């Protein structure tokens, strides 16, 4: 994408003035809501009795979201990961390049190569909104994401935290369809560059955090994470192997790597990308075979032995290398809307690794359930 021309100064100024005004309004509304909540907590029951209404007695039982320390550490990591990721996305959305040219910098490149129905039904809607009222809609996106992140940091034990988590799932699906073009899975997306989309990992983390304590303690959350990572890596291998993606020949991957390297960034960040692009331009078939094999091996590892230290370390190393060399940390260049897919997926697998071990895997659980199914 062309980053050579800076947006007009007066447009950037108008964008940040709008953000400042909206911040003041949000701060005022938040203060009012907080004062009302404090008043209701201390005086609400007496207020209801003044009108002859007997308030319902509060439940004395513990919260269904209370976790034992063995699982609480993993959930706390997931809460902070998801909350800070959404806040970071909101702050990135406030960059001048996005506030004044979101369609040209983000949506237009995503539209390239998409099926007609994706552009007509989804991305064209985003084009209409962000070209008709670019400052307003971009600032709205900023605050939605920041508020979701702040709400999630309250934790699933609180109502506001659960509300933010449910809202984040909805918003993730909106962004995936209308902002990421379904993670570019219909236009030759590569897992190295972020397909099938970082917000799907955000949604998975939100689903995990909405699980009640029983699901954490009985291993259902951990098993769900294992299935998610297994399917994710398997889908990544399939996307990379599709002949229609065009990675078995030509310079498809090399061109994308050069495009990232040309983003405004320090030389020490761009130099490794140029070196990798040069390597990818020689023998694309061999390189693509490697990029198909790596997620396939990881999928097998997560299916058969997700608690193996070798699988966990290999996953972390691969994801961090991909985040660096394949995704340029997601935020470099002034037009990144999020840190891309590898980082949130790494954080999800890290939360999984903090959970107590039970010695099982998707493979062993399927094997054990097969005789019972046959008996019935």
* Per-domain boundaries in the chain: 69-359
Higher pLDDT, 47 or 139: 139
Looking at the predicted structure, is the pLDDT value of residue 309 above 80?
yes
Question: Residue 322 and residue 291: Cα distance in Å, rounded?
Answer: 11
pLDDT band for 1, please (50, 70, 90 cuts): very low
Kindly report the pTM of this predicted structure.
0.89
Looking at the predicted structure, is the pLDDT value of residue 141 above 70?
yes
Q: What pLDDT score does 289 carry? A: 96
Which among 18, 114, 230 is positioned nearest to 222, based on CA atoms?
Answer: 230
Higher pLDDT, 75 or 334: 75
Radius of gyration of the chain measured on its C-alpha atoms = 23
Q: Tens digit of pLDDT for each residue in 195-211?
A: 999 999 999 999 999 99
Q: What pLDDT score does 274 carry? A: 95
Whether the CA torsion 293, 233, 89, 67 is positive or negative: it is negative
Question: Residue 71 and residue 356: Cα distance in Å, rounded?
Answer: 7
Phi, psi of 48 (to 5 degrees): -65, -40
Looking at the predicted structure, is the pLDDT value of residue 373 above 70?
no
Q: How many CB atoms lie within 10 A of CB 278?
A: 12
pLDDT band for 16, please (50, 70, 90 cuts): confident
Q: What pLDDT score does 4 carry? A: 42
Which among 304, 223, 310, 14 is positioned nearest to 134, based on CA atoms?
Answer: 14
Looking at the predicted structure, is the pLDDT value of residue 60 above 60?
no
Looking at the predicted structure, is the pLDDT value of residue 58 above 80?
no
Out of 94-103, 111-120, 220-229, 339-348, which region has the weakest mean confidence (pLDDT)?
94-103
Looking at the predicted structure, is the pLDDT value of residue 346 above 60?
yes
Q: What is the DSSP letter of 133?
A: S
Average pLDDT over residues 364-370: 83
Looking at the predicted structure, is the pLDDT value of residue 348 above 90?
yes
């Amino acid at each position: 994408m062309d980053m050579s021309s800076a947006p007009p100064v007066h447009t950037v100024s108008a964008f940040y003035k709008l953000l400042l005004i909206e911040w003041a309004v949000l701060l005022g509304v938040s203060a009012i809501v907080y004062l009302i909540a404090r008043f209701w907590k201390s005086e609400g029951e007496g207020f209801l009795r003044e009108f002859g209404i007997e308030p319902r007695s509060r439940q004395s039982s513990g919260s269904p979201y209370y976790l034992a320390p063995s699982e609480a550490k993993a959930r706390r990591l997931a809460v902070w990961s998801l909350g800070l990721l959404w806040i970071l996305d909101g702050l990135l959305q406030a960059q001048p390049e996005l506030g004044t040219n979101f369609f040209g910098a983000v949506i237009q490149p995503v539209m390239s190569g998409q099926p007609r129905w994706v552009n007509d039904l989804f991305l064209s809607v985003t084009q209409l909104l962000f070209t008709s009222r670019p400052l307003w809609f971009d600032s709205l996106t900023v605050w939605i994401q920041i508020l979701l992140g702040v709400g999630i940091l309250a934790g699933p034990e609180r109502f506001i935290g659960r509300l933010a988590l449910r809202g984040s799932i909805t918003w993730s699906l909106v962004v995936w369809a209308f902002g990421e073009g379904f993670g570019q899975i219909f236009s030759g997306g590569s897992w190295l560059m972020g397909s099938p989309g970082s917000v799907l990992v955000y949604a998975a983390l939100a689903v995990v955090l909405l699980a009640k304590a029983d699901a954490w303690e009985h291993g259902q959350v951990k098993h769900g994470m294992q299935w998610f990572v297994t399917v994710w890596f398997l889908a990544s291998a399939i996307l990379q192997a599709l002949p229609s993606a065009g990675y078995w020949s030509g310079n498809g991957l090399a061109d994308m790597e050069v495009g990232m390297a040309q983003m405004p960034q320090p030389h020490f960040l761009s130099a490794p990308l140029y070196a990798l692009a040069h390597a990818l331009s020689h023998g694309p078939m061999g390189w693509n075979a490697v990029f198909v094999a790596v997620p396939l091996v990881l999928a097998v590892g997560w299916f058969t032995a997700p608690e193996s230290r070798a699988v966990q370390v290999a996953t972390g190393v691969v994801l961090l290398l991909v985040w660096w060399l394949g995704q340029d940390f997601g935020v470099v260049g002034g037009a990144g809307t999020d840190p891309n897919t590898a980082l949130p997926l790494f954080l999800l697998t890290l939360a999984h690794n903090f959970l107590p071990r039970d010695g099982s895997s998707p493979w062993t659980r399927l094997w054990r359930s097969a005789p019972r199914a046959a008996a019935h």
